[in-house]
Amino acid sequence: MSPKENNVSGLADKQTSLSVRNKTATQYRYLGGIRVVSDLWFNMVAGLVLGYALGAIPFGLLLTRLSGGGDIRTIGSGNIGATNVLRTGRKGMAALTLILDMLKGLCAVWSTTHYLPGGEILAAAGAFFGHLFPVWLRFKGGKGSATYGGILFGLFWQGGVIYAIMWFGVLIVSRLSSGASLTAALSAPIAAVILGYYDLVPILSVCTLIIFWKHRGNIERLMAGTEPRIGKSKS
């Protein structure tokens, strides 16, 4: 084969290789008949944005206002989560807040898994930080316990089940919401290690540390033996 033919052949091989790589890097999914480009970097960024947008929805604040309970931030601990909603005396509203705060974490992960593959972990992080630091409330949100449970169910359901068992178990025995949240949060990265989800350990470890930081006041009261139990007026 002549040098010219070799050059032509080499160029053709490079073009074929590039085409294969492009096809591998860019896949297509269909949502309602619309083709969605599934590029990894796009998916990661879109997952983060979607997760934050869902996580930043302040269900506790919205539900208490809609039910005539006023601004939840002026009640009890001032937190927008389910435990503080319970202090308004509306048990049903508190339960609904808990469920919706969990669902926004689960939906963030589920939607990226199906339509933005590769963006699941960042979507989980976005939902978690969106709940803690919602832009609509000047970055003053909740403590993240319910949303953390939701993202666990989305990332690996076994971790979500363990988290729920730990949370409800400690709550039933001690009636300490903060103790239940801290115990459940600690179980998440441990469960990921035991079950072999090593890629999730870093983000879950960060989330757990932040849960502990958000509960630092509760931890001080737990150590002092002054932390109120469920049914009392102050967190």
Q: For the chain, which residues make up each domain, given as ranges?
A: 28-224
Query: How many CB atoms are closer than 10 A to CB 70?
Result: 11
CB within 8 Å of 157: residues ≥ 6 apart: none
DSSP-derived secondary structure letter, 34: E
Task: Give percent of the chain above pLDDT 90.
Answer: 60
Q: What is the structure's pLDDT at 24?
A: 36
**Averaged pLDDT of the chain:** 84
- Residue 47 pairs in a beta bridge with none
As a whole number, mean pLDDT of residues 51-62 equals 94
CB 112 within 8 A of CB 38: no
pLDDT tens for 187-229 read 999 999 999 999 999 999 999 999 999 999 999 999 999 988 8
Output 168 or 18, whichever has higher pLDDT.
Answer: 168
As a whole number, mean pLDDT of residues 8-18 equals 43
As a whole number, mean pLDDT of residues 26-30 equals 51
CB within 8 Å of 107: residues ≥ 6 apart: 54, 150, 154
Token pair 């470890």 is at which residue? 205
Cα 197 from chain centroid?
A: 16
Sign of CA pseudo-dihedral 216, 219, 221, 223: negative
Q: What is the structure's pLDDT at 15?
A: 42
Q: What is the structure's pLDDT at 69?
A: 77
pLDDT band at 25 (very low <50, low <70, confident <90, very high): very low
pLDDT band at 108 (very low <50, low <70, confident <90, very high): very high
Q: What is the structure's pLDDT at 19?
A: 38
Residue type, 157: W
Helix H or strand E segment including 26: strand 26-31
As a whole number, mean pLDDT of residues 164-180 equals 94
